[in-house]
Each structure stands twice: as structure tokens, then as C-alpha cells.
């Protein structure tokens, strides 16, 4: 019998990439090294100590003293689905504040859990208006949950949350937040902003590989998950059971085989976040984003989002009319090893999404991307002044 495969010495290597899309982002070598440690049992006392450390680190990044924090085994979508499946029962009314592609994901999952989903849709590229939520809340006697996306990855909009949270609380509704692209890159104040459930992902501003969803639950949210009329449709993403495994019950109860290497990676990534300091990290993202915007505009390209609502982690740029935006992305990837993102939903084929998140948010990445665009854009028929984008970015960085 002939064996098919590579000799042990010939391990396929992935090409080097500068990841400047909507995720994943590049990973710090310290995080990669943390993943290479030997294996340990998921109920080993030394590993449960690591889990406890991770819950504490997540709490510090979410800025919560109340929140019950943990890392779900799955990407950010696991956090989204766990929240809706565990907090809502069939027939419960949930209002979705929709202004982008990932807001629509909330609607889809809400329908699948057979909730009474009320989607409120506003224009892509702008923030969701508080008055729309206020008017809708007055139409319902019992709203169980209000959902919003903090950093809409599809549009590059940073959504103010305090007003939406206040309105939810005024009507005795819980407030659920998608913090997938915001946690670790801009302020996420779980307690001060009155959140009941928030979920994120490891592969963006936290600077880790994809695979975990750090979440935080208020006491009310955890009580709701524990005291349902009927069990949620999902066993694996049942927040009440997961909370017991992560140490938020009377005793730790085995739930599933934890991804040990991923949790070790997250612990190191969170340590890096807090070593840098949250405020310093937020400033780094803001400075690099401002430099990128200055460079993009100097090339004659237009930004989608008004200045006051731009997200520092994702800059969304209109592709010039008559230009094949996919061709530009391909040339960046194949010729320069730089990945940027395509548009989604209403923006498909119309925009580029440029990410500066976590380890990828570096001055040298901004300059490298702009330099590459200065070469590529004239090749595809959009003339730019060579050096204009790089100079504008360097001037912005110097001024910062």
C-alpha cells in the first residue's frame, strides 16, 4: 500500500502577510510562543488557575467589576449566538439597532431562536439614531432585549452606546453589545455604559489568532440565562452551563474540552494589552488611523464615514468609479503581501475596508500600504501624485 503525504521535514509554510483587513490581524510572537507549550488537561488544577486568570484579565479590558467574564470556544459569532440563544426564549421581543452587515446577523440569529425580532434599520455609513429606538420602545409593553453593534466592521462606524443603553434601561430591557471589533482598540466600559451582555473576538484588537469569544454578563443576564422557562436550543453555547465551567457557579462543572492552546494565547494577548495600557493602546489606534486617513485623502480617495463617527480600527474607503476594486486588492496581496478587505452587503464591490487593529496597527504598516497604493492605483487607471499619500501620513504622525 502506497502512503501519500509529505516527509516529516517538509512542513508547508504559509506566505508572510501584513494583515490590514477587517480581521484577522497579525499576532505578536509572544502570543504564538504561548501556544506552543505542552498540553494539559482541561480540569487540571493548574489549568483552572489559568482560566481564573483569564477571566480577571477579560474583566479588566471590559472595565467591569460586576461582569461575569469568560472566553467561549468559538469565534465572535459564538458570542453573538450564545447571547441571543441564552437570553431570549421563543416569543420574547428583541429590538435590533441595524446599521450594517453584522447588525443583520443579529436579526438572522434572533429569528432562528424564534424570538419576536423587531429590526430598526438606518442608513449604512452612519450611526444608529437614538430617537428611532426611543420611538419603537414606546410601542411595546415588554421588550426583553435591545441589541447594538459598537464597532460596525462592515461600515467603519463607531456607534455611541450610552444613550441606547439608557433607553433600554428606562424600559426595563437588557442591553446586548457586539464588541467584536472594539474591545482592546477603543474604550468599552461595560459597567459605566450599562451593558448586560457583551461579546468580542480574539483575532482583532486583542492580537490573538481567531477561535475564542471573550464575553461579559451582568448579574441580571446570568440570572436570566439560569432561570429560563425552557432550555435553549443550543447545548454547546448555553451561557448558564458555560458560566459554571468558568467558575461562576457554586462549583466548577465540566462542560466541554477547552481549547487549551487558544486560552494560553488569549492570556498572553490580554497581558500585552494591559502592559501597554488601555489608554496608550487606544491612542496608538487613533494616531495610526488618523495618519492612514490623511494619506488616503491625499491620494484623492474618499472616506465613507463622517469624521465624527469614524472607527479607528477600520477605515472604509470608496473605490474610485471605473476601477476594479478586487484587482487592486489582488495586486496588493500578490505584489506586496498586504491584505485589505472587500465590501459586504450594500457596500459589496464599492469599498475597501482597511484594518489597523492590535498588532497590525503600526506606523510602518500605514506607510507600506500607502506606498503600495501609490504604485498600484496608476497601474489600474487612477492617477495619484507619487509620494503624496506617504508624506501626508508622515506629517500626521509627526504632528501627533
pLDDT in tens, 384-398: 999 999 999 999 999
Is residue 233 in a domain?
yes
Residue 7 pLDDT exceeds 70? no
Number of domains in the chain: 2
Entry pTM: 0.95
Judged by phi (left if over 0) then psi (alpha if -120 to 50, else beta), residue 29 lies in alpha
pLDDT band per the 50, 70, 90 thresholds, residue 14:
confident
Domain boundary among 220, 241, 274: 274
pLDDT value of residue 12: 74
Is residue 21 in a domain?
no
d(CA 18, CA 400): 24
Is residue 241 in a domain?
yes
Find the domain containing 388 and state its range.
277-399
Residue 89 pLDDT exceeds 60? yes
pLDDT value of residue 42: 87
Do 213 and 291 fall within a single domain? no
pLDDT in tens, 303-322: 999 999 999 999 999 999 99
Residue 3 pLDDT exceeds 60? no
pLDDT in tens, 46-87: 999 999 999 999 999 999 998 999 999 999 999 999 999 999
Is residue 191 in a domain?
yes
Domain boundary among 237, 257, 274: 274
Domain boundary among 247, 274, 301: 274
Is residue 282 in a domain?
yes
Do 74 and 220 fall within a single domain? yes
pLDDT value of residue 23: 93
Q: Which residue has cell 415588554? A: 142
pLDDT value of residue 5: 63
- Continuous H helices in the chain: 29-35, 45-62, 76-87, 101-112, 130-137, 162-170, 219-226, 239-245, 260-276, 278-298, 325-336, 363-379, 388-399
d(CA 225, CA 367): 47
What's 13's DSSP letter?
-
Do 104 and 237 fall within a single domain? yes
Is residue 17 in a domain?
no
What's the chain's average pLDDT? 96
User: What whole-number percentage of the chain has pLDDT above 90?
Assistant: 94
Do 229 and 340 fall within a single domain? no
- Concatenated DSSP letters of 275-344: HH-HHHHHHHHHHHHHHHHHHHHHTT--BSS-GGGB-SSEEEEEPPTT--HHHHHHHHHHHH-EE-EEP-
Do 194 and 338 fall within a single domain? no
pLDDT in tens, 242-281: 999 999 999 899 999 999 999 999 999 999 999 999 999 9
Do 79 and 223 fall within a single domain? yes
Is residue 1 in a domain?
no
Do 294 and 366 fall within a single domain? yes
d(CA 362, CA 295): 14
CATH number for the domain spanning 259: value is 3.40.640.10
Do 270 and 322 fall within a single domain? no
CATH number for the domain spanning 367: value is 3.90.1150.10
Do 287 and 265 fall within a single domain? no
pLDDT value of residue 1: 47
Do 221 and 72 fall within a single domain? yes
Arithmetic mean of pLDDT, 131-135: 98
Do 170 and 300 fall within a single domain? no
Do 123 and 187 fall within a single domain? yes
Is residue 3 in a domain?
no
Amino acid at each position: 500500500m502506497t502512503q501519500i503525504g509529505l516527509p516529516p521535514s517538509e512542513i508547508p509554510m504559509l506566505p508572510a502577510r501584513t494583515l490590514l483587513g477587517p480581521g484577522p490581524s497579525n499576532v505578536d510572537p509572544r502570543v504564538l510562543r504561548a501556544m506552543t507549550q505542552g498540553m494539559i488537561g482541561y480540569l487540571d488544577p493548574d489549568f483552572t488557575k489559568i482560566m481564573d486568570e483569564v477571566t480577571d484579565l477579560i474583566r479588566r479590558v471590559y472595565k467591569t467589576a460586576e461582569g461575569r467574564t469568560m472566553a467561549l470556544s468559538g469565534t465572535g459569532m459564538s458570542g453573538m449566538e450564545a447571547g441571543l440563544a441564552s437570553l431570549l426564549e421563543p416569543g420574547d421581543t428583541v429590538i435590533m439597532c441595524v446599521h450594517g452587515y453584522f447588525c443583520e446577523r443579529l436579526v438572522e440569529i434572533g429569528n432562528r431562536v424564534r424570538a419576536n425580532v423587531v429590526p430598526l434599520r438606518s442608513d449604512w455609513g452612519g450611526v444608529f439614531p437614538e430617537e428611532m429606538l426611543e420611538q419603537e420602545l414606546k410601542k411595546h409593553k415588554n421588550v426583553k432585549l435591545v441589541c447594538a453593534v459598537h464597532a460596525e466592521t462592515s461600515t467603519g462606524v463607531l456607534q455611541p452606546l450610552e444613550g441606547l443603553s439608557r433607553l433600554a434601561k428606562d424600559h426595563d430591557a437588557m442591553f446586548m453589545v457586539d464588541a467584536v471589533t472594539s474591545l482592546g482598540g477603543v474604550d468599552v466600559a461595560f459597567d459605566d455604559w450599562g451593558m448586560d451582555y457583551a461579546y468580542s473576538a480574539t483575532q482583532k484588537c486583542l492580537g490573538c489568532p481567531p477561535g475564542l469569544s471573550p464575553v461579559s454578563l451582568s448579574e441580571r443576564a446570568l440570572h436570566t440565562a439560569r432561570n429560563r422557562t425552557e432550555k435553549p436550543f443550543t447545548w454547546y453555547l448555553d451561557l448558564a452551563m458555560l458560566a459554571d465551567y468558568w467558575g461562576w457557579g457554586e462549583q466548577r462543572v465540566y462542560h466541554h474540552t477547552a481549547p487549551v492552546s487558544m486560552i494560553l494565547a488569549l492570556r498572553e494577548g490580554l497581558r500585552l494589552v494591559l502592559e501597554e495600557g488601555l489608554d496608550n493602546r487606544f491612542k496608538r489606534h487613533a494616531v495610526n488611523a488618523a495618519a492612514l486617513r490623511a494619506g488616503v485623502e491625499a491620494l484623492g480617495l474618499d472616506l465613507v464615514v463622517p469624521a465624527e463617527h469614524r472607527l479607528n480600527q477600520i477605515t472604509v474607503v470608496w473605490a474610485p468609479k471605473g476601477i476594479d476594486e478586487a484587482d487592486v486588492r489582488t495586486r496588493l496581496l500578490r505584489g506586496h503581501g498586504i491584505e485589505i478587505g472587500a465590501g459586504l452587503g450594500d457596500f459589496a464591490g464599492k469599498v475597501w475596508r482597511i484594518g489597523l487593529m492590535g498588532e497590525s496597527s503600526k506606523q510602518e504598516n500605514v506607510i507600506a500600504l500607502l506606498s503600495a497604493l501609490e504604485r498600484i492605483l496608476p497601474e489600474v487607471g487612477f492617477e495619484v501624485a507619487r509620494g503624496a499619500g506617504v508624506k501626508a501620513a508622515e506629517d500626521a504622525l509627526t504632528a501627533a
